[in-house]
Structure 1
C-alpha cells in the first residue's frame, strides 16, 4: 500500500484564520460533475467552502476548524469516484490567462462600440447627402463621442501602455503610431463636433482599435495554445518523495520539503526524485532520460543515483545529497537558461518590419502637416490630412500579417500532431537547414520493443503480456502494450527485483529475470547472438521462452529522415548513448554524421560549432540531457513523452509514435513563413498606393479607415493558405530492428563526426 501523502505542507494559512488548499481533480467529464463534487464535500461539516473550476479541474477548499486533516477531502473525493492531486499552478500560465481575459474584454468593448457608432455614422453620411438638420447631425456626433471616448480609454490600454513604455525607454514600436493615430483621430473628431463640422471620425478610431485588438488576440491565442492546462499537468506529474523517518515509518511529501540528509525510499519502477547515495538495497537503474544511455546500470550501497533515473529491480534506501536545489537536474536547468537567454535575442519578422515601419509613418505624417501648411493650408486642414495619413498607414495589415498566419498554420500543425509552444516557432523552424536528432526516445520508440516476438510461441507471449499487467517494472510496459483487450492473470504477485508469479490453469506462470523463470540457458543462447539486447523471460509450467527487448526505431523514422534529406537538410545524430547502439541506428537510417557518449555541454558545443559554420539547427530530442541543446538550437522539437524540462525548452511538441510530424513541421514552417512575407508585401504595396493619395489630400479619415480595413481582410484571407497539403493516411509500417528495405539517403558508411 502506498504511503499517505502529507498535504500539510501545501495548506495556505491566511491571516483571517482560514486554511486554503487547491487540488487538481481527475475524472471530471462534464459540468454535472461540479454539483456532484461540491454537494459531496458539503457532507464534511468542518469545510466552509468547496468550489470547483471546471475549466482547469481545480478544486479550492477552505476551513477554519483546528486540526482538520485535508486527507479527508481526498478520501471523500475517492468515495465519489474522483482522484485528487496537489494543484501547483504555473505562475506564467496565470499571467497569460489574465492577459488573455483582459484582451478579450477590450475586444468585446471595441466591437460593441464600433457597431453602434457605425450605425450613427451611416445615418450622418446619408443625411449629409439629403436633408439632415445641423442639430440632428451634432446630436449623433455627440452620442458617438460619448461612446467612443470611454471605449478608447478602456480598449486602447494595451496599446497606450506599451507606447508609453516604449517612449520612456526611448525606443520605437508599432504601438506608438497606433496610439498617436487613435488619440489624434479622437481629438480631431471632438474638435469637429464642438465646431459643428459635417464630419467626425469616431468610427474610424474605434474600428481601428477593434481590428488591432483582433490581431493581438490572435497572436495571444497562438502563444497560449499548448499552455492552457500547464499548471494542472505539472500538478498531476506528482513530484514527491517517500521519506523514511527515524522510527521507520514512511510518508510521502512534496519534493520541496525534502532536505539533504533525509533518507528516501525508492520502490521498484519509481523514478528517483533526488540526488543521493544508496545506503541500502541493490538494483539496476535506467538513466536514459538523463544521460541517453540505454544500458541498465547495476547499483548497490555507496553508488550515486540522480534525479530523473528509474529504479528497475529492487527497493533502494537513498541518503539525499540534493533535492529541490543543487541536483544534476538543476545544473541542466542552468544550461537551459543560459542557452535560452542567448536565443531570446532573435528578432521576429514582424518586429523587424516594425523597426523600419514606425519611424517612416511618423515622418510621413509630420511632413504632410508641415507641407500643407507651407502651401497655405490652415492648421485644421493640415492636421486632418496628417491624421488621414496616420490612419491609412496604421499597421493593421502589418499587425495581422504574422499572427493570422500563425493561427492558421498552428491549427494545421495541430491536426498533424504538432503543438507550437512559442510565438516565433514557425519562423525559426523555417530558417533551419540542419536537423540534429537525439537517438534514445526520439529516433527510437519511448518504450523498448520485443525484437523477437515472431520467434516466441503465441500462447507464451500472451501469457507474458497478461502477467506484465500486474507489474510496475518499466520493462513490463513493452509487454503489457500487447495485452490490449486482455485482463491480468488473477492472483499475480510481484516479487521486487525478480518478477511476477501467478497460478494459471493449475500451473505456475512466471515473468521476470531468467533466473526467476529458470531460463538461464535460453537467455545465454539468445544473448550470444545479440549482446545489446535486454532479456526478460516467461515460464508457464515447464515451458520457457525469452524475449529480447530493444529500443526499436520509430515506425517511419527511415522515411522521415529520407524526406528531410531530400529537401536538402543536413542530418546529424548527437546522442549520449554508447557507440554501438548509435552506430547501428545511424546505419539503419543511412545517416553519415553521428556522435555518441555526449554530455549536455558536449551537445551544446556541437551545436555552436555548426552555428559557427553558418548552419541553423533544428534540434529534435527528448531527455533531460537534451534540454540544454533544445534551448540552444535555432529551433527545437520534442516528443510529448519527453522529460518535462525538455518539453519546456522546445519550440514545439509532437504527438504519437510516428516521426512524420517533424517533417510536416519543417514543410509547413517554410510555407507559412512565405505567406507571412507575402502578407507583409501586401501591406507594403497597399501603403505605396494609399499613402501618396492621403498625402495629396485625396483621402479623408473615413476613407482611410475603410481602406485600412480592406487591407486587413486581404491579409487574413491570404493567411488561410498556410496549411499542409492533404495527405492520405499512411499505412503503419512494420517495426523491425533490422536494416530497413530502403535507406533514408544514399547508402554510405556511417562515420563519426569529428569531435
Structure 2
C-alpha cells in the first residue's frame, strides 16, 4: 500500500511537468532551419542577471555534442541555441540549463510578460531601508551608554525588526546564493548572504547572553546598500528589453485569405504559406512579403525607407511585411511565410546586434569576478589565524564576519550605476533620455556620427511652403478637401489653413489611391492631388508622383487653380551641430530618400559624405562595416527602417518623434527639436566616464586600506559596516559632482538653441520631394 495520500503522485508529476520546460517535439516544431542541417531554438531564461550567468550558460551548453553554438542576450533574457537537426533528444538542452540552475521556456516575442523582479526589488529595498533606519535609531541609544536592561531591550527590539527584514529583503541574495551552491558554484551573492546570516546569528547569540555589542544594524544596512546597486542595475537593463518586442508587435496576428473556391477564411499569420491569396482593407498591416494581384492603394512604407510620403502600389508591385495599407483595398499573393519576411529579417538583425551588445562587460563586473573565492579564503584564513593566535572562537568569528562585511563590494557595485543615474538626470534636464545603462560609456567612446535624414536632421513633417502666394479661397478649398484624407500632404494643407469649417458641404468626396481627392460642389468637380491626374482628369499609373518641387495641384473641372509646394524643415541648429561634431570626428548621412534631395541637404549642412536610397539592411550593413573597420559609430535616426542600424551601431540616438520601435531601439532619445542634444549627450557621457573611473579607483583604494585593517582586528563588524557604508557614500558624493554647474549649463543650452534657431532660419530649407 502506498504511503502517499491519494493524488499526491499526480500532483508531484504535475509540478515536475510545469517546470520541465519544452519537450523534444516542441523544440522541433518551434525551431527554425538555419541551413546546413542545423536548427535554432530560442529559449526564455528569466534567471539570467549578470555576466557570470552568460558565461555559465554558454560554456555549459557548449559541452553538448549536438549543440553548435549558444548565444545569450541578457537584455531580453533569451538564449539562442543552434543544434543539429539529427539530434535524437534536443530537450537535453533544457535539461542542461536546469542542471546549471536555470529554468527555461520557449521564447515568445508577442508575450506580454510583466517584470516581476523589479517590484520585488523595490519592496525589498523599502523594507531594508525602513528597518535599517529604525535599528540605527535604537543603536544610537545603546552607543550613548544605555543601562544593561535598556540595552538588552533595545537589542531584542532590533532583533525583532531585523529578523523579518532580513528574511524578506535578503531573498534576492539568498535565493541566488542557494541556487549557486546547490549546483556547486560560487557567485558574489554567496559571501554576501554568509556575512548577513552570520552577523545576525552572532548578534542574536550576544543578545540572548546579554552581550554588549550586536550588529543587527550592520547586517540590515549591508542589504540596503547592496539592494540600491542591484535595483539601479536592473532598471537600466529592463529599459533595453522592449525594442525587439515592439517590432514584433507590428506583425498582425492573422489575415483574411481567399480560398480557391472563392470562400474567405481568417487564418493565423504563422499559417500563411507562399502562394496564399490575402485580402487587405484600408488600415490593415501587411502580414507577409507579397505581390499585389489587384487593386491600387497608398502604403505607409516608413518601415522600409523612413520617408513620410506614402508609396502608391498597384498590380505587380512588391509589398513588405509590416507596412501599413492606407487608402484602398488590395488582393496580394504571399511570396514567403512570415518567418522569412522583411519584418522577420529586421527582427533577426536587431537580435543579432543586440546579442553582441549584451556581452558588453563593465569594468566593475570584470573586477568582481574573483570576489567570491578570494573573500571566502581571506575570511577563512582570518578565522583560522585568529583562533590559533587568541584561542577565542567568538572573537575570531567576529573578525571573520568583519572581513566579509568590509570587503562587501557596495562601492564597487555603486560605482557605475550611481553615476549613470546622476548623468541620466543631467541629460533629462537638457532634453535627453538615456535608455540603457552602459550607453553613456559607449557614447563617450564614439569617434564618428552617422545621421539619418528624414525626421532626424529634418523634422519629418511636411508643411506648406508657398501658402502666402496662393489665393486664400483656393487654400481654404484645398484645406476643406484635405481634412477628408489621411495623406500627409492633405494633413499639411489642413494644418496650414488653421481651423477648417465646411460652410458649404461637398455633394460627394472620394479618394483615389495614388492620385488624390475628388469632390463635387455646385456641379463643379474639384481635384486635389497629383498634377497629371488633377489637370487631365485621367489616372496615369506609375511615374513620378509630382513635379520636382513636390507639388500637389488643385483643379476645377480639369482647370488649374493652385499648386502647393511643401518642405520638410531642418531641425534648429542642425548646421551648427554638424559643424561642432565635425571638429571631433567624421560626420556622414545615410538616407532612404533619393540622391538629389540627400545631396542638397548634405551641401546645406556641410556634410561631405552621404549615401542615398539605402534600405534598412543597407543601413545596418554599412554601420556594421564601419564597426569592422574599427570605428565606434554613433547612429542618429528616427524611423522604423533605422532600427537595425540603431541597434548595430556602437551607440544610438533618436528623437522623441521617432516611431516606437526606433525609440525603443535607440540608447538615447532627445525630446526637443534642437540637435544640440547630440553634442550634450556626448559631453555628459564623457564626464560620467571620468567619474566612473574615479569611483572604481576609490573602491580599489578603500579595499586596499579596509581589508588589512579588518584582518588585523582593527574593525569590528559594526565598524566594518560603517566603513562599507562610508565608501558607498564617498562614491555617491563623487558622482554628484556631475551636478555642478547644472543651472548655468541649462541657461547656456537655452541661449545656444535660440541662437541656432536664428541661424537655421537663414538657411535655405531642404524641400522634400514628396506628393501624391
TM-score normalised by L of structure 1:
0.74
Contact 1:553–1:737 under 8 Å retained in 2: no
Q: 1:165 to 1:598 in 2, by over 3 A?
A: farther
Q: Which residue of 1 aligns with 2:646?
A: 630
Residues 236 and 272 of structure 1, relative CA distance in 2, 3 Å threshold: closer
Alignment of 1:580-591 (within 5 A): 580-591=596-607
> Contact 2:162–2:220 at 8 Å: present in 1 too?
yes
Q: Which residue of 2 aligns with 1:111?
A: 129
Match of 1:674 among 690, 694, 697: 690
Q: SS of 2:420's equivalent? A: helix
Q: Structure 2, unaligned stretches of length 5 or more?
A: 1-107, 767-772
Change in 2 beyond 3 A, CA 1:455/1:312:
farther
Answer yes or no: is the 8 Å Cα contact 1:519–1:546 preserved in 2: no
User: Structure 1 90/119 Cα, relative in aligned 2: closer, same or farther at 3 Å?
Assistant: farther
Aligned residue pairs total 642
Q: How far did 1:693 drift?
A: 3.0
In the alignment, which of 424, 443, 460 is matched to residue 438 of structure 2?
424
Structure 2 residue 142 is the aligned partner of structure 1 residue 124? yes
Distance across 2 between alignment mates of 1:736 and 1:115: 55
Compute the displacement of 1:328 (Å).
0.9
Q: Provide the C-alpha distance between the structure 2 equivalents of 1:607 and 1:587, rounded to a whole number of angstroms.
A: 22
| Cα contact 2:255–2:269 (8 A) shared by 1 | no
Separation in 1, partners of 2:281, 2:765? 43
Structure 1 residue 356 displacement after superposition: 5.5
Alignment partner of 1:546 is 2:570: no
Determine helix, strand or coil for the equivalent of 1:345.
coil
Aligned to 1:618: 634
* C-alpha separation in 2, matches of 1:180 and 1:489: 80
Conservation of the 8 A alpha-carbon contact between 1:514 and 1:536: yes
SS at structure 1 position matched to 2:572: coil
Query: Aligned-residue CA RMSD in angstroms?
Result: 4.1
Going from structure 1 to structure 2, the CA distance change for 1:236 and 1:305 (only over 3 Å counts) comes to: closer
| 5+ long unaligned stretches in structure 1 | 1-88, 743-755
Aligned residue runs from structure 1 range 642-721, under 5 A:
642-721=658-737
Aligned-pair distance for 1:346?
A: 0.8
Indicate the larger mover: 481-490 or 141-150.
Answer: 481-490
| Residue of 78, 101, 121 corresponding to 2:119 | 101
Go from structure 1 to structure 2 and tell me whether the alpha carbon gap of 1:735 and 1:531 turns closer, same or farther (over 3 Å shift).
farther
161-170 vs 622-631, greater mean Cα deviation: 161-170
Alignment deviations for residues 273-313 of structure 1 (CA, whole Å, 9 cap, x no partner) = 44222121234555343135788755322322112445566
* Paired residues of 2:281 and 2:325 also in contact (CA < 8 A): yes
- The Cα offsets for residues 158-199 of structure 1, whole Å up to 9 and x where unpaired, read as 122333445567776543332232122123323433444211
Cα distance change, pair 475–694 in 1 and its aligned pair in 2 (3 A):
same
CA contact (8 A) 2:552 2:564 kept: yes
Deviates more, 1:219-228 or 1:170-179: 219-228
| 1:79-100 per-position Cα deviation (integer Å, ceiling 9, x unaligned) | xxxxxxxxxx98776442x212
| Pairing partner for 1:317 from 331, 338, 351 | 331
Q: Could you tell me whether the CA contact under 8 Å between 2:252 and 2:285 is conserved in 1?
A: no
566, 576, 581: which one pairs with 1:559?
A: 576
Separation in structure 2 between the aligned mates of residue 166 and residue 236 of structure 1, nearest angstrom: 36
8 Å CA contact 2:462, 2:566 repeated in 1: yes
Cα distance, 1:447–1:266 mapped onto 2, change above 3 Å: farther
In structure 1, what is the Cα distance between the partners aligned to 2:448 and 2:475?
42
Partner of 2:366: 352
Deviation at 1:330, TM superposition (A): 0.6
Question: Aligned equivalents of 2:495 and 2:381: distance in 1?
Answer: 72
Return the offset for 1:640: 3.8
CA contact (8 A) 1:178 1:395 kept: no
Indicate the residue corresponding to 2:35 in structure 1: none
Of 323, 332, 336 in structure 1, the residue corresponding to residue 350 of structure 2 is 336
Distance 1:550 1:224 in 2: 39
Match for residue 728 of structure 1 among 727, 732, 750? 750
Deviation at 1:323, TM superposition (A): 6.7
Aligned equivalents of 1:165 and 1:590: distance in 2?
58
Secondary structure at the counterpart of residue 488 of structure 2: coil
Distance 1:458 1:490, change over 3 A: closer
Task: Tell me the secondary structure at the aligned position of residue 699 of structure 1.
Answer: coil
Alignment of 1:244-643 (within 5 A): 263-266=277-280, 272-283=286-297, 285=299, 287-292=301-306, 299-311=313-325, 314-322=328-336, 324-355=338-369, 358=372, 361-376=375-390, 378-453=392-467, 455-457=469-471, 460-487=474-501, 491=505, 493-497=509-513, 498-501=515-518, 510-518=527-535, 532-539=548-555, 544-566=561-583, 568-643=584-659
**Aligned equivalent of 2:231:** 217
Q: Is contact 1:222–1:423 with CA below 8 Å preserved after alignment?
A: yes
Once the two structures are superposed, what CA deviation does each residue of 1:463-497 show, in whole Å capped at 9, x if it has no partner? 43443222122332333343444446763533223
Q: Which residue in 2 is equivalent to 1:69?
A: none
Give the drift of 1:201.
0.8
User: How big is each residue's C-alpha offset from its partner over 1:353-387, in whole Å with a ceiling of 9 and x where there is no partner?
Assistant: 32355555445434443443454453322222222
Distance 2:169 2:141 in 1: 25
CA shift for structure 1 position 409:
2.4
Q: Residues 322 and 386 from structure 1, CA distance in 2 versus in 1: closer, same or farther, beyond 3 angstroms?
A: same
Distance 1:166 1:551 in 2: 57
Q: Quote the Cα distance in structure 2 between the aligned partners of 1:379 and 1:301.
A: 88
* 1:34-183 equivalence runs, <5 A: 94-96=113-115, 98-126=116-144, 129=145, 131-133=147-149, 137-166=151-180, 173-183=187-197
Write the distance in 2 (CA, Å) between the matches of 1:741 and 1:482: 17
CA distance in 2, matches of 1:681, 1:143: 39
The corresponding residue for 2:199 is 185
Partner residue, 1:243:
256
- Structure 1, residues 430-484: CA drift from partner, whole Å, max 9, x if none? 2211212222333233233444445444554454344322212233233334344
Give the Cα–Cα distance (whole angstroms) in 2 for the partners of residues 182 and 140 of structure 1: 20
CA apart distance, 1:156: 0.7
Tell me which residue corresponds to 2:770: none
Structure-2 change in CA distance of 1:294 and 1:131 (3 Å): closer
Q: Distance in 2 between matches of 1:390 and 1:276?
A: 63
The CA deviation at 1:132 is 2.0
Any conservation in 1 of the 2:431–2:672 contact (CA below 8 Å)? yes
Name the TM-score, length of structure 2 as normaliser.
Answer: 0.72
1:250, distance to aligned residue in structure 2 (A): 9.0
SS in structure 1 at match of 2:496: coil
Q: Deviations over 1:502-552 (max 9, x none)?
A: 57899776432224543899x9xxx99x96443211347976221233544
The alpha-carbon distance between structure 1 residues 274 and 481, as it changes in their structure 2 partners (threshold 3 A), is: farther
How far apart, in 1, do the equivalents of 2:501 and 2:287 lie? 31
Q: Quote the residue 1:199 is aligned against.
A: 213
- 1:642 shift after superposition: 3.6
Q: Residues 634-661 of structure 1: CA distance to partner in whole angstroms, max 9, x if unpaired?
A: 1122334444443443223333544333
